[in-house]
A and B are shown apart, each in its own frame.
Chain A
Amino acid sequence: MSQDQKQEAILEAAIRRFAHFGVAKATMAEIASDLSLSKASLYYYFPDKLSLYAAVIKKITSENEKQDEEDLAKEKDPFKALVLYLERRTDFIIRYYNILEFLRTFNPMRMPEPLESVFIYLKKRELARLTSVIEKGVSTGLFKIKDARKTAELLYEFLDGFRASLALHGANFFPDKKQFQSILRKEIEFSLIFFNGLTIKKG
């Protein structure tokens, strides 16, 4: 196995372990043993659990990146594109909840390296997607704003705060799908009101 293949195998084993047991309960020793790898060679690829975790986050967030962006680009209607964007985001969270749940142990304002750089990238990506959605309304003359980026930042920050206040409290490892869907419904409801506010009224 080449180094890249080995690294990929480690990431896949880690995803399986993290997704089943949660990050806190999964150990480096178990991941190594799943692959019949010595702990030393696992640590050669990932010096600690945090760097492995950051690599896992990077991998799972990039899995559908291309597909999501293509689908988003295809949708010309900003309202529909917005709903699509929010739905895909929720699907992702439901799919990887047990992996993402570990992020709660960190202060979002002070993420440790190497997680921080992954999150800087992800935040940029989210903002770029929201901006592209808003631009659909600007370019067709539907929205009465000039700076799509600034408006996207405003919406992004609002959604962020909104989610933080709705976040599932406590260590609920078996969350109900309905909980996420109810958050999604509220996100959609709010964002559509926001978009309506940007729309030039006819007549």
Chain B
Amino acid sequence: MKTEPTVRKDQIIEAAIKRFAHFGIAKTSLTEVADDLGVAKQTLSYYFSDKKALVTAVVDKLGEEYEEKLHAEIDQADTVEKALLKLTEVKSWFFEKYFMLLTQENHMELATAGVLPGRRNKLMNRELALMKALLDQGVSKGELRPMDSAKKASLLLETLYAFARCVKDKSALPDKEAFQQVLTRQKEVTRIFYDSLKSDTWKN
């Protein structure tokens, strides 16, 4: 008979996030997560049958955290320009915070199981929808020129991802400065992009 363990599911997920975010998935063992919580490894298996199950729960939790933060920040922006720049900032904040975890999506077991790529694609689709909605909003308010918003949104999003990819390719262990540099560039390109879509661009 299984007895109710002394830690809650969300405490395990929090402890796992801390380990995964610092060491990445490959270098973290369930035993270490259990040790951090001061419980036996068996206690973890009450909730999570294996590492894959725990990683899945962690990735879902982080996805929620990211989207919550994204919406909270964007809701505060009164123009599409500010909203786009906020989106860029939140993206970069999240990328830096969970770099070790996010760059291990090719971690063999999980990649073949489709856990990470599947979730990544879904998240990107939601980001795309959000960005398209922002552009549409700008058009209907007269802030932006009429455009094919789906196409433009995917272009900008892919550009932002490409910049992030550069950090990852340059170093497996980037420093704060490397992230900062990329954010600066991402914001710059977002601004250029915005300026070219602005409704008053061609008036002067």
Contact = CB atoms under 8 A, between A and B. Distances in A.
B113 interface: no
Nearest to B29: A25
B65 interface: no
A23 B106 CA distance: 24
Contact of B171 (A34, A171, A174): A34
B172 A21 contact: no
Nearest to B24: A21
A174 B18 CA distance: 10
Interface in B12-31: 18, 22-23, 27
Interface size classification for chain A: 10 to 19
Contacts of B173: 16-17, 20, 34
A100 to B, nearest CB: 17
B50 interface: no
Nearest to A13: B173
B35 interface: yes
A21 B32 CA distance: 13
Nearest to B27: A25
B61 to A, nearest CB: 19
Interface residues of B, number: 9
A30 interface: yes
A111 B171 CA distance: 34
A171 B172 contact: no
Given A34-B171, A34-B172, A174-B18, A21 B35 contact: no
Given A170-B35, A171-B35, A174-B18, A21 B27 contact: yes
A33 interface: yes
B140 to A, nearest CB: 47
Given A21-B27, A25-B23, A25-B27, A30 B172 contact: yes
B41 to A, nearest CB: 14
A89 to B, nearest CB: 26
Given A170-B35, A171-B35, A174-B18, A21 B171 contact: no
Nearest to B171: A34
A198 to B, nearest CB: 43
Interface string A23-61: 001000010011000000000000000000000000000
Nearest to A19: B173
Contacts of B22: 20, 173-174
Interface of B: 18, 22-23, 27, 32, 35, 171-173
Interface of A: 16-17, 20-21, 25, 30, 33-34, 170-171, 173-174
Name the 7 nearest CB pairs between A and B, nearest first. A25-B27, A16-B173, A20-B173, A21-B23, A34-B172, A21-B27, A25-B23
